[in-house]
Structure 1
């Protein structure tokens, strides 16, 4: 279980490196980011922003009692944090926004995608539900990683331009 302020990784490290051939379907598992990082639901907004910055990610999963319960994006956190928080011109009220628990601004009712789905199916789901990241499951609700809009663009570019090495 993730301790307050301490990220936990779900899934194995790194990105898959296989590029599908012309006769293969481009699957989510090929392009997803591993691991999916989690923090405790009680983590502060400031600590969650610090974790995102440290691990160069825009999304975190929230863990409560060993279960993944929600997702939070950097946009969610920046909307709730005062822009003056942590600066010389900040007030106590400004700084208090960074101490709020992240679960107050998270999105519950996770929308997930199975690793076996195609990237086209994942893209349609992201557009339909207006989300920029999907936790990736093994089909039995175990989290394997995260598919972000950047991962999706990399996958679509690789499929559209075979031989192109998308970064």
Structure 2
């Protein structure tokens, strides 16, 4: 029987409790989950790809199952084919996410009909969490403990201390 491989792509800048929820649940659906850490300059990353990969590896260490963390800077479908994936795992927080993700899934299916997109709804308590908002809260001195793991909170605080907090 062929190994079922899934790809969960994202910038993970930083990895949030919402991402971890999707990773835990997605890992149960496949034999191997590849977390694709991508560059997305339009999102003005707080952390380098290497830093984000290290953060993700640390956070998924105890999840269980086979999880690989791989950087990529290519079309998602090319990356998925290179990983021999048959599934793309995507998390949904709200209706607005669904509209965007639905369009992306349709385009991706046109590029490679052999790879299915699977949507997982984020846990209700985690739905409002977005990396962009976590960074914004941290930059303005707010408490991000409800949104990220303790080690990630330390990483974000250290980076904010480096780049400077707004509103001080």
Interval containing the TM-score (normalised by the shorter chain): under 0.3
Compute the TM-score of the two structures, normalised by the length of structure 2: 0.25
Q: Larger % of strand: which?
A: 1
User: Which structure has more helix as a fraction of its residues?
Assistant: 2
Computing the radius of gyration over CA atoms, which structure comes out larger, 1 or 2? 1
